[in-house]
Structure 1
């Protein structure tokens, strides 16, 4: 692949968000040599409709599922911030915590959920997703690059400012990039299948995802049978 970064950071609200949004594209990047880090804002302890375990047990289970899913697409470094699932806000504290990881990883590309509500698909506009997108974008600009922002990161932790050149918004309102994942769709499905607590039968999900990805590909004029993930690329340097 051409135009792949040396390092990329994927910031999402919950375990499984990355696998739905961008796991195919991540598989392409890791296959081309990109070092990808996943950062989950929550542990996903509020996920699922049945309450059969306590929150700490659910959190531990979902963290392990996300690590297995990440491994399916070549991601070895998965981090969790431990914010409460269902109660994420774009706070200064969250901006600082994302900025810390940006300065540690020093990525050339950051993937985030859209901070904007999709009025055509309310289910896609979970408040945790929007808050994570807003905080992560603010961490990219201006916080992570600004030596005056969160001064403790430099003064106490020795983390120098870092400028991220571009952000890829998954589910953004103005898509301008279609990533052809036809050849790695099976790896995306394997990643999703790792989330056994959330996805009861992966064979029921696959046809829906194929239809969705095929529609994305058709919008981009890709050949019939192609599958694509969609992003809005924002230049932030």
Structure 2
């Protein structure tokens, strides 16, 4: 297994070893805001170019029946506004149906297309393994999003003979250096980012998703408590906030094709 040497620290600028470009995937609008927006805000503040890839339109979300006819437009607008709060350059919507996402070749191709377009130092996504300590983290769409992204990162994105139509369209194969997965089972977590300075930006992003959270005060209490407990589990200073990840070095300096 490749080590985590040279990991693109969100606290560092690109010239100091931080990420230049990050492509972050979520199954639904708001997933990234709950799962990783503090870390994303830190990368953006350090000068990284951030893109979001949202797999579904979140059309099965919400609580008000009056919103059914406009929920897709609402959720897309909410996600764009939330992304702006943490410094994201662009939000890409893949447009799949909420609740029906599968790691199909069609979805994987769309993920590969976006990876080859953005050509990021870091691909960030939901974890493909079920988290039994919090089943809500393991919505079937979350698992499908994670699996599709992992399949796309290796081998499809770096194989010029996978989805040859993408090469014909000018999207050459690309080797992803780093894969960061959020919502990981506890036993998979191997890296925690201190996001204390970016908690308010994260909460601002979450507040934007008004169609999803009828009790925003309770939501904020939960998020703050989880950030503090994550930091404590990682041994960060008292009162700190943290976001936890399963980080994988996909193409480290010592990596050779197929190993």
TM-score by length of 2: 0.89
Q: CA deviation at 1:36?
A: 0.4
Q: CA deviation at 1:200?
A: 2.1
**1:43-82 alignment to 2 at 5 Å?**
43-55=57-69, 57-82=70-95
Q: CA deviation at 1:181?
A: 0.6
Q: CA deviation at 1:204?
A: 2.0
Give secondary structure in 1 for the equivalent of 2:67.
coil
Give secondary structure in 1 for the equivalent of 2:141.
helix
TM-score by length of 1: 0.97
Q: What is the aligned length?
A: 235
Which one of 172, 177, 186 corresponds to residue 160 of structure 1? 172
Q: CA deviation at 1:208?
A: 1.2
The runs of 5 or more residues in structure 1 that have no matched partner are none
Q: CA deviation at 1:49?
A: 3.5
Cα distance in 1, alignment partners of residues 65 and 25 from structure 2: 27
Cα offsets for 1:10-41 (capped at 9, x unmatched) = 01100000000000000000000000000000
Cα distance in 2, alignment partners of residues 224 and 74 from structure 1: 27
The reply on whether 1:170 has 2:217 as its aligned counterpart is no
**Is residue 22–residue 50 contact of structure 2 (8 Å, CA) maintained in 1?**
yes
Give every structure 1 segment of 4 or more consecutive aligned residues whose post-TM-superposition deviation is greater than 6 Å.
none
Cα offsets for 1:117-148 (capped at 9, x unmatched) = 11222111100000000001110000011000
The runs of 5 or more residues in structure 2 that have no matched partner are 1-10, 252-259
The reply on whether 1:225 has 2:236 as its aligned counterpart is no
Q: CA deviation at 1:105?
A: 0.1
The reply on whether 1:105 has 2:134 as its aligned counterpart is no
Which one of 44, 48, 52 corresponds to residue 38 of structure 1? 52
Which one of 144, 148, 151 corresponds to residue 157 of structure 2? 144
Cα offsets for 1:83-122 (capped at 9, x unmatched) = 0110000000000000000000000101110101112221
